[in-house]
Chain A
Amino acid sequence: MLKGYVPPYNATVVQKLLDQGALLMGKTNLDEFAMGSGSTDGIFGPVKNPWSYSKQYREKRKQKSHGENEDSDWLITGGSSGGSAAAVSAFTCFAALGSDTGGSTRNPAAHCGVVGLKPSYGLVSRHGLIPLVNSMDVPGTLTRCVDDAATVLGILAGHDPKDSTTIQDPVKPFTLPSLTDVSKLCIGIPKEYLTPALSSEVRSLWSKAANLFESEGAKVIEVSLPHTSYSIVCYHVLCTSEVASNMARFDGLEYGHRCDTDVSTEAMYAATRREGFNDVVRERILSGNFFLLKENYENYFVKAQKVRRLIARDFVNVFNSGVDVLLTPTTLSEAVPHTEFIREDNRTRSAQNDIFTQAVNMAGLPAVSVPMALSSQGLPIGLQFIGRAFCDQQLLTVAKWFEKRVQFPVIQLQELMDDCSSIFENEKLASVSLK
């Protein structure tokens, strides 16, 4: 739909980075209009996870593989901001921007072994972010370490007069303290997030993480988010409704792709939209329009709004009871091969994979995925921390403490290893950030 479209203005987040001297290296691939959890449904083709080519993964595979074509079973990055996660993971850039509406930044971060931050809704301007769900979208950041995420957030956060949903006050850049004492910290473990679909490896890492905090003096308690089971369905109704509305502007008239038909305006619109949108997008538009029909509005849209409030209140209640930060998995498992992923359709996969991340968007809270360890297959697994609204600094402080403790390994990419071995000899942390 946006073939050949070159935006005549910069998004606020992009402009802010440029103003601070950042160099824009390029734009990354994603699922079309950010709809998807695999970064497989974009017009430029699917994104390949750099870990598919890592020494860690290849070595594990050699042990059990039967000498097939090395590239045939490459892994997905997760999505929808998979291109950005891959770019950061493969050391091509310092940081990348993504978007997060239901987990689209955190999910690929976990699969690619990088830090994926979803700021509080309203903290970072959405001016220039192509909207998916206006009431849930935020620009997200992908970086190799938590300190870098804080650096980027410090530049991006604050009031933007061009976005009426941002906070009123400016935000100053900040550095994270190096937390040593976690004894005053209370970590919450939501029991509803323990689902049978969760892989045993992720579950055991989750448990290990909880123990880590406890062993260092933090209070770790089980909490309840009772409306968790309704969030996927609620999200589906609200997301598709907003999508139907937001996509109404793509008609080929002012910009972007326009079909060849010129019989009538209506015919032109219909053909342009059929040609310009993929199946996933069209499906969501149809669903959304259904929910917004006069006869359905109360039963679907308004009901979903009410359920959304209940979900948001679950979090408020938990934070009010003394919990500082919640600890949950980010994904159900490590990254899967592309051939396996595409066995189910986009909607099914999204419903499955958004399960830990998407309630956070409904509540507008900040959350960050931090890579913890490699799986038995040599692939990254990350865990998610969820914080109080507008307490992004506190959230990142806890995440930084965790990151230091777990010492997630650097990705070993053959080519890079050969050229830059000197860099890696001295670095213990999974970062080559500019210090």
Chain B
Amino acid sequence: MATPMLRWCCPGRRWIFAGIGGGSRHGRGVPTGSTSSGKRGQSSVAQQPLITAQKPRKGEREWAAVVGLEIHAQIASNSKLFSGSQVDFAAPPNSLVSFFDASLPGTLPVLNRRCVEAAVMTGLALDCHINRKSLFDRKHYFYADLPAGYQITQQRLPIAVNGSLAYSVCVGQRWSQMVTRTVGVKQIQLEQDSGKSLHDNLRSQTLIDLNRAGVGLLEVVLEPDMSCGEEAAAAIRELQLILQALGTSQANMAEGQLRVDANISVHHPGEPLGVRTEVKNLNSARFLAKAIDYEIQRQISELENGGKILNETRSFDYKLGCTVPMRDKEGKQDYRFMPEPNLPPLLLYDSGSLPTGADPQQVIDIDQLREQLPELPRVTREKLVRQYGMRPEHSFALLNEVGLLEFFQNVMKETRAEPKKVTSWVLNTFLGFLKQQNLAVSESPVTPSALAELLDLLDRKAISSSAAKQVTDVKKGNPRAINKLIGLVRRATLGRADPTVIKEVLERQLSS
């Protein structure tokens, strides 16, 4: 049976299905303008395929995949969205639960200002239109981790709409071939997080921890403008960096601060969109791409075999590497949305509409927040490219590791070496070393000053690059390497330098 022809945005990746025939190349799919389930999508940047698609074999048709994402990011705030209890992820179970969080009768929600500011800042960073008036609603369903029996969210009129998120993917075989894509941001809304439930199958019981119940979430809905796992992962990565730069969310997927649901469907280009499935609770960037690609494959196989795609919710089984239907989602849920009667409409102002004599504690000025926005990753990278003549992919790499950019900049301050050299050393040798030792930048034994000095020596050709590398070896804690260094220096000085002096100089340098 012929394997289906896939249009991928990211050729060169290894897929479950091997390439068709010998040495075939997959073309990059042109994203469709329309979206699944009839929603209007943002039009994506038109893309020029770098590699032409192979003509489909007789009897085969091409497939295109459509991927949309719903992201829940926990807001970095001291207290919860509607109550004063603290937000802390490591606290003992049920120790951060206010009367409101526990849904005690008679308690009422009170909106947290910081959460609103976080939403506005995120909306501005994503080029959204900030709604001057937004509303809160109740979304009803029964579940043990939802004490009130409903979640307060913004369904009718969210706080921000119609933005875009630019991200980069590498195309072609080489990391250096990067293109920028954009995905539309449909909306950003404020909503409550639920508690956590832990299933104790041994005792047939479920344990509920309400510490997380009521924590503020930003739900960011991305339009189905993406077409594969890699694009989705890249978009998520960029969103993470933006949220971290803004300080609105720590966006750490491993800690559950960023959770992603993907909506996936496949269709033949030119035909209407297919039935979509939802893959929920993707908690790691790595598995995100895998899960999406698996689901795309699964849908294609299913349809190729004459089957049908059910509009269902699935989860990703990490161990098996496949998506499976979720047991408790039978039939469609009617959430019985209703306006939240205890929260008046949220009104935001800008410098033009700010009421005179208004108490600054009681109002939010969008323009003021816009002025105070920190530098966004995109701008930082552009600056690096401009200032240092850096390759774009290097600027990405520098921002991709916590603290690495700062390290780089500190080295640059103290060294006379060329930026290109510094970049190369930081990204290759230094980062490689950290990865090998499983260390974060903050835990590095090599300080920026030390590296700067080393690079200076290298620059002056006082030592060779291999020697410099050896220095780092010594730094890593290999004392015998110093003898090798002495040997190298002797050679460099054509045998004229006194070994003892060399040793002294080296030891002095290395102990710094």
Contact = CB atoms under 8 A, between A and B. Distances in A.
Asked if A and B bind, the verdict is: yes
Interface string A239-278: 0011011011111011100000010011001000000000
A254 B103 contact: yes
Interface secondary structure of B, over-half rule:
loop
Contacts of B99: 8-9
Nearest to B148: A249
Interface of B: 99, 102-111, 138, 140, 142-144, 147-150, 204-206, 208, 210, 334, 336-338, 341-344
B80 to A, nearest CB: 14
Nearest to B147: A254
A289 interface: yes
30 contacts: A2-B105, A7-B104, A8-B104, A9-B99, A9-B104, A126-B106, A127-B108, A128-B107, A133-B341, A163-B108, A163-B342, A164-B110, A164-B343, A165-B108, A244-B336, A248-B140, A248-B148, A249-B147, A251-B142, A254-B103, A254-B147, A262-B205, A265-B143, A265-B144, A266-B142, A269-B142, A289-B336, A292-B140, A292-B337, A294-B334
A7 B103 CA distance: 12
Interface of A: 2, 7-9, 11, 126-131, 133-135, 161-165, 241-242, 244-245, 247-251, 253-255, 262, 265-266, 269, 289, 292-294, 297, 301
Contact of B138 (A161, A245, A247): A245
A255 B109 contact: no
Contacts of A134: 341-342
Contacts of B205: 262
Given A248-B149, A251-B149, A293-B334, A165 B103 contact: no
Contacts of A129: 106
Nearest to B111: A164
Contacts of A253: 144, 147, 208
Contacts of A161: 110
Contact of A292 (B103, B111, B338, B342): B338
Given A2-B105, A249-B147, A254-B147, 8 more contacts: A9-B99, A11-B106, A127-B106, A244-B336, A245-B150, A249-B105, A251-B142, A254-B104
Nearest to B143: A265
B108 A126 contact: yes
A249 B213 CA distance: 14
Interface secondary structure of A, over-half rule:
loop
A284 to B, nearest CB: 14
A130 B103 contact: no
A94 B334 CA distance: 48
Contact of A265 (B206, B343, B344): B206
A183 B334 CA distance: 58
Contacts of B147: 249, 253-254
A161 B343 CA distance: 12
Would you list the 3 A-B pairs with minimal beta carbon distance, nearest first?
A248-B149, A292-B336, A134-B341
Given A134-B341, A248-B150, A127 B107 contact: yes
Given A245-B338, A292-B338, A128 B103 contact: no
A118 B26 CA distance: 73
Given A245-B140, A269-B142, A255 B338 contact: no
A304 to B, nearest CB: 12
Contacts of B148: 248-249
Contacts of A163: 108, 342
A9 B337 CA distance: 30
B103 A249 contact: yes
A297 B208 contact: no
A33 to B, nearest CB: 9
Given A245-B138, A248-B142, A293-B334, A7 B106 contact: yes
